[in-house]
């Protein structure tokens, strides 16, 4: 089975061809055009610019994916596109392109939840990952701990009460004067820094539960800079302190989730990390230690498949197509589309009070 995947939910225009073979999954091509150049002057993604860039480049990126895989549209079995959550302009561009191709080529269309793409990538890169597994999903827009019990079966254990982990990296990087995207910039600057020179808060650390909060960290960095006395010689130390604080918070909350998971899912197979922040080396190292301590396998995709890509969308297309889960051509994009639709909406004040 071969599926074309299309990803346009944020600032990456991507197309990939993935095959399910008797030997396991195979990425035949994985093409991506990032929009760093377009958004860097603004220090963040500008939705209108992102949508127009997808419109300009998506056809070329798909052509490149088909050429690299050396196949024609006639040879694919389905077309999958990320139809949410994300920026509506980009979602419409990707969904309409996928629907047009599916209609023209007479192939099934699969509307994919971008978060499910991140959630199932571990099964693409490591075909021994069985359900149920515990997932730390950390990206620019999401920061959640979930039990993945099957395709479409997700239970949220915790989420962020304010900023996502990637957002915390991006916003503090902007304050420190590092480039966009902030995560890789902070990680690189951290290499030469002393993480202990600045003391930053770790919101919710040591409290019960699996929720996250990062807005206090951002405020602390802003305050530190406003107090003055810092110069470019302090950048590496501050970046290292931010990275350590974010990783400490993620590890603390994940440890609580691992305890819960071991107790409620003794058949659980692995701790999986996914999303752009899972590309972070310190986080990967420390999560591996948490998993090992709990007797779980630790599975994390290579960094290039942690950040947004279309191979993960094509892979969800395959997993769904194999179960006969296809969508009509009138399927609408959803800017908001939680993986666990039953999870209660988090109310920051209540949760913080409940933790006391």
Whole-angstrom distance, CA of residue 46 vs CA of residue 109: 28
The residue from 7, 116, 170, 252 that contacts ligand KG4 (CB under 6 A) is 170
Between residue 68 and residue 107, which ones bind ligand KG4 under the rule CB under 6 A? none
Q: For the CB of residue 277, give the shortest distance to ligand KG4 in the complex, in Å.
A: 4
Whole-angstrom distance, CA of residue 315 vs CA of residue 152: 14
Question: Closest by alpha carbon to 145, among 340, 334, 304?
Answer: 340
Whole-angstrom distance, CA of residue 182 vs CA of residue 196: 20
Is residue 35 at the binding interface for Zn ion, with CB under 5 A as the rule? no
Is residue 163 at the binding interface for ligand KG4, with CB under 6 A as the rule? no
Task: List, in order, residues 6 or more apart from 242 with CB less than 8 Å away.
Answer: 168, 169, 172, 173, 176, 186, 190, 200, 217, 221
Question: Closest by alpha carbon to 63, among 98, 102, 31?
Answer: 31
Q: Which does 166 bind (CB under 5 to 8 A by kind): Zn ion, ligand KG4, none?
A: ligand KG4
Which residue, 139 or 256, is less far from Zn ion as judged by CB?
139
Q: Which residues pair with 7 in a beta bridge?
A: 14
Q: Which does 170 bind (CB under 5 to 8 A by kind): Zn ion, ligand KG4, none?
A: ligand KG4
Whole-angstrom distance, CA of residue 73 vs CA of residue 75: 5
From residue 180 to residue 219, the character string flagging contacts with ligand KG4 as x (rule: CB under 6 A) and all else as - is -xxxx--x--------------------------------
125, two tokens: 């890169």
Torsion of CA 231, 236, 241, 243, to 10 degrees: 130
The residue from 113, 139, 243, 280 that contacts Zn ion (CB under 5 A) is 139
From residue 295 to residue 334, the character string flagging contacts with ligand KG4 as x (rule: CB under 6 A) and all else as - is ------------xx--------------------------
Q: For the CB of residue 349, give the shortest distance to ligand KG4 in the complex, in Å.
A: 26
Q: What is each CA distance from 135 to 157, 285, 287, 290, 335, in whole angstroms?
A: 10, 16, 11, 13, 22
Q: Contact, 65 vs 31, CB < 8 A?
A: yes
Q: For the CB of residue 274, give the shortest distance to Zn ion in the complex, in Å.
A: 9
Whole-angstrom distance, CA of residue 237 vs CA of residue 244: 11
Question: Closest by alpha carbon to 117, among 213, 3, 33?
Answer: 3
Among 53-61, 202-210, 271-279, 286-294, the segment contacting ligand KG4 (CB under 6 A): 271-279
From residue 84 to residue 123, the character string flagging contacts with Zn ion as x (rule: CB under 5 A) and all else as - is ----------------------------------------
Q: Which does 254 bind (CB under 5 to 8 A by kind): ligand KG4, Zn ion, none?
A: none
Q: For the CB of residue 119, give the shortest distance to Zn ion in the complex, in Å.
A: 10
Which residue, 76 or 115, is less far from ligand KG4 as judged by CB?
115
Q: How many CA atoms lie within 13 A of 56 on its CB side?
A: 12
Q: For the CB of residue 185, give the shortest distance to ligand KG4 in the complex, in Å.
A: 8
Instruction: With CB under 6 A as the rule, give the number of residues binding ligand KG4.
Output: 19
In the block, residue with structure tokens 């480049």: 57
The residue from 27, 124, 277, 316 that contacts ligand KG4 (CB under 6 A) is 277
Q: For the CB of residue 329, give the shortest distance to ligand KG4 in the complex, in Å.
A: 26
Q: Kindly list the residues in this chain that would bind ligand KG4 in the complex (CB under 6 A).
A: 10, 139-141, 166, 169-170, 181-184, 187, 275-277, 279-280, 307-308
**Interacting residues with Zn ion (CB under 5 A):** 139, 308
């Amino acid at each position: 089975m071969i599926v074309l995947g299309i990803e346009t939910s944020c600032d990456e225009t991507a197309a990939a061809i993935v095959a399910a073979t008797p030997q396991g999954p195979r990425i035949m091509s994985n093409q991506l055009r990032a929009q760093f150049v377009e958004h860097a002057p603004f220090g963040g993604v500008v939705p209108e610019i992102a949508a127009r860039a997808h419109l300009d480049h998506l056809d070329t990126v798909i052509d490149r994916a088909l050429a690299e895989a050396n196949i024609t549209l006639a040879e694919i079995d389905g077309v999958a596109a990320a139809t949410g959550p994300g920026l509506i302009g980009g979602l419409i561009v990707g969904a309409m392109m996928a629907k047009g191709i599916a209609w023209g080529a007479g192939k099934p269309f699969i509307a994919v939840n971008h978060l499910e793409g991140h959630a199932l990538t571990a099964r693409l890169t490591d075909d021994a990952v069985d359900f149920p597994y515990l997932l730390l999903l950390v990206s620019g827009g999401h920061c959640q701990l979930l039990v993945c019990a099957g395709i479409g079966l997700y239970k949220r254990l915790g989420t962020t009460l304010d900023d996502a982990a990637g957002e915390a990296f991006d916003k503090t990087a902007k304050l420190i004067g590092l480039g966009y995207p902030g995560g890789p910039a902070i990680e690189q600057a951290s290499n030469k820094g002393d993480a202990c020179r600045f003391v930053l808060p770790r919101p919710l650390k040591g409290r019960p539960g699996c929720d996250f909060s990062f807005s206090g960290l951002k405020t602390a960095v802003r305050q530190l800079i406003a107090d003055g006395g810092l110069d470019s010689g302090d950048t590496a130390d501050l970046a290292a302190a931010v990275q350590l604080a974010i990783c400490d918070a993620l590890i603390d909350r994940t440890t609580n989730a691992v305890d819960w998971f071991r107790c409620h899912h003794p058949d659980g197979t692995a701790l999986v990390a996914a999303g752009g922040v899972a590309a972070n080396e310190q986080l990967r190292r420390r999560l591996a230690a948490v998993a090992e301590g709990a007797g779980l396998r630790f599975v994390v995709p290579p960094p290039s498949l942690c950040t947004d890509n279309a191979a993960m969308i094509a892979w969800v297309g395959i997993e769904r197509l194999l179960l006969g889960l296809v969508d009509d051509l009138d399927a609408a994009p959803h800017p908001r589309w939680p993986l666990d639709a039953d999870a209660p909406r988090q109310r920051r004040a209540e949760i913080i009070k409940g933790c006391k």
